[in-house]
Amino acid sequence: MKVSINKGVLETILINIQPYLEKKDLSQITSHLLITNIEDELIIKSTDFDIGLSYNTKNVKIIDYGDATANGKKLLDIIKILKDDEVTLETINDYLYIKQRNSKFKLPMFNPNEFPSFPEISNKPKFNIDSSSFVRGIKKISAAIDNNNPKLELNGALINIKNGFTNLVSTDTKRLAVVKLENNIEDEFSMIIPKKAIVEMQKVFSEAIEIFYDENTLIAKSSHFQFFTKLINGKFPDYERIIPKDKKFRLLLSRSKIIDSIKQVSIISNEVKITFKKDKIVFESLNDENIEAKTEIEYDTGLDEDIYLAINSRYLLDFLSNIENNDFTLGFNDSSLPFTLEDENFITIVMPIII
């Protein structure tokens, strides 16, 4: 194999596929990238078996066809220090040579034929979804995905597709986040996508995509890349049952004022008591130590009686950092019952702290 490619083009691809490499065991072929060319395209693949990304570009000059592998991190380190000019990649005797003007580097290769194959798209059902809406949606629910939960299905996000809409759902058992998107899909099905894949989707799903799937795998394809992730097998909780149907109180609140007040009080404690009075809202730290923080804002809540919530401030800030509007709605029944945070198609249900 021998190709010539602009340093900037190659560096961008190498940066994007770094998260898919095996980092701990460099003896594994999955610590390497697969570099190949077909007709007038250069294709670079990276995978750790559970998740993978393949980039293709025509911004390359093909001199000779073939395949190569190279340690992904070392190759990126080399490309970063080169000048912004053409770079030549060439395989000679089981080594990949990287050349530019008077500079030359040599990296050992694994056998390209041993590189893991990517799942095939053929014969898989597919659906289309607006990529920008999808990315905004999964970004909103990402914070509520659990980590290292023994119930594996909670370590991912549910994509619940129904006739006319798609719900994106996550929960860490203390809160539940749901984004509802409209669609034109007639079939109904669900899949649970691992948290790592949800994070990486936000980085690469910036253009029109087609999504293919089966019971074990999701594949997303655009004109420049192909992404895949294994799915989590399991039964996601019945999230619709958790969403309160009725709320005794519904308060329209200012996003910026709540954020400012919460940040002041959470310097002392992440656990905060918020008391809603008729003409003001009081924020107090909940802390066993002999320190406290308290602030209040003038706010016409329209309430005839005081109500309070004790919450983990991070849950509230996670919600408020992912909404676009200046106001949001708080839905509330009782201080011991779950309450809702709502903004258009995004809702988070939070379990309060009992005090």
- Does position 27 have pLDDT exceeding 80, yes or no? yes
Looking at 66-70, 89-93, 178-182, 334-338, which range is the least confident one?
A: 334-338
Answer yes or no: is pLDDT of 240 > 90.
yes
Q: Express each pLDDT in 141-158 by its tens digit.
A: 999 999 989 999 999 999
Residues 6+ apart with CB under 8 A from 236: 153, 154, 158, 160, 169, 190, 192
Distance CA 315, CA 143 (A): 8
What pLDDT is recorded for position 107? 98
Average pLDDT over residues 8-18: 96
199-227 pLDDT per residue, tens: 999 999 888 889 999 999 999 999 999 99
Q: pLDDT for 104-129, tens place per residue?
A: 999 999 999 999 999 999 889 988 88
Instruction: Name the percent of the chain lying above pLDDT 70.
Output: 100
Report the alpha-carbon distance of residue 206 to residue 135 in Å, rounded.
Answer: 8
Ordered structural domains, the chain, with CATH: 2-114 (3.10.150.10), 126-241 (3.10.150.10), 245-350 (3.10.150.10)
pLDDT at 77 over 90: yes
Average pLDDT, the chain: 94
Q: 29-76, pLDDT tens digit by residue?
A: 999 999 999 989 999 999 999 999 999 999 999 999 999 999 999 999
Please give the radius of gyration of the chain, using alpha carbons only, rounded to the nearest integer. Answer: 25
Residues 285-309 pLDDT 10s: 998 778 899 999 999 988 888 999 9
pLDDT tens for 295-353 read 999 999 888 889 999 999 999 999 999 998 999 999 998 888 999 999 999 999 999 99
By the 8 A CB rule, do 282 and 274 touch? yes
